[in-house]
Amino acid sequence: MKDTAPVHVKDQSAVEDGHAGVRGRNTRTPTLRLLLTLALSGLILGLASCGKGDHADADGSSTSTSTSRPRPAEPIVAATPPMGWNSWNQVRCHDLDEAVVKQAADALVRRGLKDLGYRYVVVDDCWQAPSRDSAGALVADPIRFPSGLESLVDYVHDKGLKFGLYLAPGSETCAMHWDDYAASGIGSYRHERQDAEMLDELGVDYLKYDWCRADETDGLEHQKTFGLMRDELARLDRPIVYSISEYGDTKPWTWAPKVANLWRTTSDIIPFWPSVASIIDQQAELHSFSGPGRWNDPDMLQVGNGPLTPDETRAHIGMWAMLAAPLMIGTDLDKLTPDVIDALSNPEIIAIDQDPAGRQARRLRSGETEVWARSLADGDMAVALLNKGDGPAEISTTITEVGAQPGSWSIRNASTRKDLPATDGPISETVAPHGVTILRLYS
Ligand code: GLA
């Protein structure tokens, strides 16, 4: 975690402002296009240079050393929202073991998901033995992980995937709070450096650091505590994506861009449409806080779980893409139905999620039917027509409502991957109940 400096927020909002009311590429003058291109490359270079040389202070502030001497540009950590698989929504504590993790890694490769960008394999809570070893190190549960974490990390890496692990900042993880508790979970409190070094030694690429009532159990304060682990990760040579989770309780979007690469914005998602719809609703005001290297995290995907219908599944993934959200699958990848694998594999939806400009969609109209839009790095626009109602609905918008200049825009239905007639006027689609149509407007 070496790339989350306040400068990102500033630069990104400047560019976002510059794009409010973005012109259609067909109507853009060559000079304007050149200026936009230069502005964008300036942003990317600016972000790329916010690397190791930036010093993160304990209070969460960051001091750039860029005035002292030029540094080589290095890639930003989590430049686009992380994608992958996480054990929690699939097995929680019950069935977590090394076989499940290996099976997920195998399936990501076999089902073509790795090639689409699903790269992180994250072991969530309940992986630990009940006590630290005599040197104070955390140990994997020997029954669940008989081969040890080291060999599991190697297994995942050998497949060209990245490995993630779960820790908690207090004295215990959340495992204790679940009814299906069948595992222990020791927190990193007073072992932060040792545990960060363990991640480094194991070759971990992604840390999920989950609050789990550390304020109640250990009297800890959120920003300082998450900042402490940020500083420990910054000492390491290894770039580790830093994902924090405190369920949106302290409005982390207001402070976490200086601390982490992603932060949860809500309480836990469950695999029912009201949960998905409510989480979408809670993201509407958060668009200005996220961008490359610093993402709002509306929680992991529940597709493939519970009674989510095919339309709800597509709406869940489609809206997560509009929100530039991490796409972490949490279901048995060997049992995906055609609807779920198709939705997870739609390259046009993934391209919106992974758009390099990283601009989270704004909600333009709210209610039972909604219109959301985001501008993309190449000047295209992504538009979501979301139907939260229980019956089919015709949802209309216009080129001007979505913030584009009038002109002849071509329209592609990214959800069905079909072209629609070009228009400079209204756009109308019939959208299924609890469904979404994602459009890409281009010239
Ligand atoms: C919290 C988190 C979940 C999961 C569990 C594990 O509830 O929000 O994502 O990590 O803890 O116990």
Q: Please give the distance, rounded to the nearest whole angstrom, from the Cα atom of residue 174 to the centre of ligand 1.
A: 6
Same-domain status, 291 and 401: no
pLDDT in tens, 170-188: 999 998 776 555 667 999 9
Domain that holds residue 238: 83-353
Same-domain status, 295 and 389: no
Report the nearest atom of ligand 1 relative to the CA of 92: 6
The residues that bridge with 209 in the sheet, in sequence order, are 167, 244
Q: Please give the distance, rounded to the nearest whole angstrom, from the Cα atom of residue 342 to the centre of ligand 1.
A: 27
**How far apart are the C-alpha atoms of 208 and 164, rounded to whole Å?**
7
**How far apart are the C-alpha atoms of 217 and 231, rounded to whole Å?**
23
Tokens standing for residue 160: 């060209």
Same-domain status, 262 and 195: yes
**How far apart are the C-alpha atoms of 262 and 264, rounded to whole Å?**
7
Of 318, 353, 388, which one is at a domain's C-terminal end? 353
Same-domain status, 192 and 143: yes
For the annotated catalytic residues, the residue numbers are: 210, 268
| Ligand 1, atom 3: closest residue by C-alpha | 268
How confident is the model at residue 30, as a pLDDT? 31
User: Residues 6 or more apart from 241 whose CB is under 8 A from it?
Assistant: 1, 77, 78, 82, 120, 164, 205, 206, 207, 261, 262
pLDDT in tens, 92-122: 998 999 999 999 999 999 999 999 999 999 9
Q: What amino acid occupies position 159?
A: K
Q: DSSP letters of 354-394?
A: T-TT--PPEEEE-SSEEEEEEE-TTS-EEEEEEE-SSS-EE
> Measured between alpha carbons, how far is residue 390 from residues 179, 269, 370 in Å?
33, 21, 14
| Ligand 1, atom 1: closest residue by C-alpha | 174
- Per-position b or e across 248-265, b if 16+ CB within 10 A of its CB: bebebbebbbbbbbbbbb
How confident is the model at residue 46, as a pLDDT? 33
How confident is the model at residue 180, as a pLDDT? 56
* Ligand 1: lining residues by beta carbon, under 6 Å: 88, 124-125, 174-175, 210, 245, 268
Counted domains in the chain: 2
Q: Please give the distance, rounded to the nearest whole angstrom, from the Cα atom of residue 271 to the centre of ligand 1.
A: 14
| Ligand 1, atom 4: closest residue by C-alpha | 88
How much is the pTM?
A: 0.85
Q: Please give the distance, rounded to the nearest whole angstrom, from the Cα atom of residue 361 to the centre of ligand 1.
A: 26
Same-domain status, 407 and 261: no
Report the nearest atom of ligand 1 relative to the CA of 125: 6
